[in-house]
Amino acid sequence: MSDVGVREKVRFVSDGEECVGWHYAGTNGGCVVMAGGGGVTKEPGTDLFAARFHAAGFSVLAFDFRHLGESAGSPRQVIRIAEQLADWNAAIACAAELPEVDPTRIAGWSFSLSAGHLLRIAAGPTRLAAVIAQSPMTDNLVAAPKALSYESPVAVLGFPLLALADAIGGLLGRPPQTIPLAAPRGRVALLNTPDAQDGDRALNPGNRYPDWQQTIAARSVLPLMLYRPARTAARIRIPLMMIICSDDRSVLAAPALRAAERIPHAELLKIPGGHYAPFLDEHERTVEAELAFLGRVIRETAHSTDG
């Protein structure tokens, strides 16, 4: 496995603000642009997979969205869908300028919320040659009500007031009121689902990343509950691999399966387990399948470019 010590900081601008990423220089001309899921910074979100991609010869650009991690943007811990889509496009443009990268051989990789973003990126004009969407959040209008069933009635009733107060506070320039990304039933959090409780074990074993703030601004949550990136699925024409966890309680398997059926020539890997299975028991199977997919895409792209 590649050592994270081989990477160097890279900085690029998105809508006038600086985003920060890790650049692992590869040898085969291909590049994987990576970002963590909702509220997850680049190290806990990508290190495990980035090391394997790099060891196979790929360059990697793993970045933080604005308002998170090392990237700029105030207030902190805020997720705005339009901004994160713009950050993806800026990161892809940055990757295309890396000296060892063939700009026709760039793939996008992410999971959960950010994998949903990639469905939208892939559906429009894009410099991406392929996408890997792992445990993707495809239709939160379907998933969110189910996720709410794992919260206590007190938390369900109290959260809208908290979110509204935080949104009003944002208009008045006040700092965000944050909530945990995951918490047990009875506590207000982004997710109280059973598999969301695996997030720290999957992404931050042994508190490897103590600087990761596992929180999100309450004002960010209500717009996310209406997010339905799978509506663009039928317009995707680039190669796409989707990894779906059969017992995913956080984003649900069924909406992702329906989205995959609408994507022409989508490759599907269905694995057992919950939302974070690709980081836990199913990691080796997942990463090997993803590497095989990337290898095929790179060869096909190289052949079509040379020919």
* β 215-217/59-63 pair status: unpaired
pLDDT digits (tens, 9 = 90+) for 153-171: 888 888 888 988 999 999 9
Q: How far apart are CA 49 and CA 223, in angstroms?
A: 29
Structure tokens at 60: 């990697």
Cα distances (angstroms) measured from residue 74 to each of 78, 145, 175, 180: 8, 30, 9, 19
Read off the pLDDT band of 302 (50, 70, 90). Answer: low
Q: What pLDDT was estimated at residue 305? A: 42
Within a domain: 89: yes
Indicate the pairing of strand 59-63 with strand 17-24: antiparallel
Is 242 within the bounds of a domain?
Answer: yes
Structural domain contains residue 119: yes
Give domain status of residue 176, yes or no: no
Residue 163 lies in a domain: no
Edge to edge, the sheet with strand 59-63 lists 8-14, 17-24, 59-63, 31-34, 106-111, 130-136, 240-245, 267-271
Give me the pLDDT at residue 159, please: 86
Residue-wise pLDDT tens digits, 180-210: 999 999 899 999 999 999 999 999 999 999 9
Round the average pLDDT of the chain to a whole number and report it.
Answer: 94
| Residue pointed to by tokens 């309450």 | 218
In the DSSP assignment, the letter for residue 63 is E
Task: Determine the structural domain holding residue 60 and report its residue range.
Answer: 4-139+228-302
Q: How many domains does the chain have?
A: 1
Task: Say what the pTM is.
Answer: 0.94
Question: Who contacts 252 (Cβ-Cβ below 8 Å, separation ≥6)?
Answer: 139, 142, 143, 146
Residue 223 inside a domain? The answer is no
CATH number at residue 235: 3.40.50.1820
